[in-house]
Amino acid sequence: VRRMVHEVVDHFGQIDALINDAGIVPHFNWGIPRWPRVRLMSKDFWDSVIQTNLGGTFLCTKYVVPFMEERRSGNIVNLWGGGRAENHGAAAYVVSKDAIRTFTRFVAEEEREWNVCVVAFSPKQAIATEDAPEEARKRLPGPEILGNGFVLATQAGMELTGKTVEHRNGKLVVAD
């Protein structure tokens, strides 16, 4: 991650915005018909989901923030989805995604004095990327539905830092 961030800065000269959108849905990736309930969940399964969903957000933020502090400017958008889900067996996913809201609030306060705005962005629904299994692509919208919301979120002002926001009717609003 550190090397990736340095390559971006070397190529573009600066980083204006970071969108943290890491997330795995294990049953699609590992052929598990349902997410395992906590009592049946392996530690490796738990660790993999937490490390990807929360750990990826942490590492990208950790290495991008110094470049934003140096310029006293930047926007970080952490995708928060699924934190409200109450699907049986989704504990690792839901815990990792809900932790992103808390992480967002902490980083927002730490970076406020450097004018780095940090928000959690709620897409309000699951999306399927191009590498998702066919089953997911058939029943879920693609990432293109998030485009305008992400653009607005990367331009959010400091009055929104630390908040969870969503895209409604062409505007960025604080989520309920």
Q: Could you say which of 35, 93, 103, 150 is catalytic? A: 93
pLDDT tens-place string over residues 3-54: 999 999 999 999 999 999 877 765 555 555 567 788 888 999 899 999 999 9
DSSP string, 124-170: SS----TTS-HHHHHHS--GGGGHHHHHHHTT--GGGTT-EEEEETT
Question: For all residues of the chain together, what is the average pLDDT?
Answer: 82
Domain ranges of the chain: 2-174
63 is catalytic: no
Q: Amino acid identity of 94?
A: V
CATH domain 2-174 topology: Rossmann fold (3.40.50)
| pLDDT tens-digit readout, 67-95 | 999 999 999 999 887 655 566 667 888 89
